[in-house]
Amino acid sequence: MLAGKRLLITGVLTDDSIAWHTARVAQEQGAEVVLTGFGRGLSLTRRSARRLPEDADVLELDINEPAHMEALVADLDAKWGGIDGALHAIAYAPEDALGGSFLETKAESASIAFLTSAFSYKTLAAGLRPLFAKAGGGAMVGLDFDNSLAWPAYDWMGVSKSALQSVNRYLARYLGKEGIRVNLVSAGPLGTVAAKSIPGFVQFENLWQVRAPLGWDPRDPSPVAKMACVLLSDFAPATSGEIVHVDGGFHAVAAGETEGF
């Protein structure tokens, strides 16, 4: 499905992440991949890269550092001369922007959450644009958590995810004429390092167990990774600006069978 594709997979830390599993599935489907990490986590990213079916290069990318983005593009240009797809798996919110302190969160913390979790999608897309042009187009996929409703404890990360969905639509509008497709995969809760940092995360897991019609395994990122790879492939040539839910059907129902209805 991805034979010959050159893919950038951002945000890989450990091998339980959606990003790592996307890289794994992509390699199994014939793609070449490059991973990114940064700072103190870079050594973990390199260790995770060695656990893939094929070892992958690791480049440093702090998405909020313009020099990092410029260096990444230069390195990918030298390696491949173009790029066919990229996964945006980047998000962060300071502690005071999560956990129920929504009304007390400082503007600076909310801004950091937005800049890193939503605006960064534009940063990545705009930075990679020349490489997509050399490839004649391609696909961007971002990782999302549906925020059409307010969730307990998710707070300003939830606001940032809503912003991410809007950024996705605008990128689809502005990049479509260049043959670049832009979509999000809205995943159910998974027990990744990032998710476990959210206060009360276990409540999300419990709710999915009750309500998802297809069931949901919070220990298995593979279904999300597989959908990301579909959207990165040529099997979705006319899909852009979309939010594809991979959540066991949770988003489609108002209550589970055991919730008194």
Question: Is residue 198 included in any domain, yes or no?
Answer: yes
Number of separate domains in the chain: 1
The pTM of this model reads 0.94
Question: Is residue 81 included in any domain, yes or no?
Answer: yes
pLDDT tens per residue across span 133-171: 999 999 999 999 998 999 888 999 999 999 999 999 999
DSSP, residue by residue, 69-107: HHHHHHHHHHHHSS-SEEEE------GGGSTT-GGG--H
Distance CA 67, CA 62 (A): 9
Provide the domain limits for residue 147.
Answer: 6-244
* CATH number, residue 203: 3.40.50.720
- What are the residue ranges of helices labelled H in the chain? 18-28, 42-49, 66-80, 107-114, 120-135, 155-175, 193-196, 201-211, 222-232
pLDDT tens per residue across span 42-81: 999 999 999 999 999 999 999 999 999 999 999 999 999 9
Question: Up-side HSE of residue 257: CA atoms within 13 Å toward CB?
Answer: 5
Question: Is residue 250 included in any domain, yes or no?
Answer: no
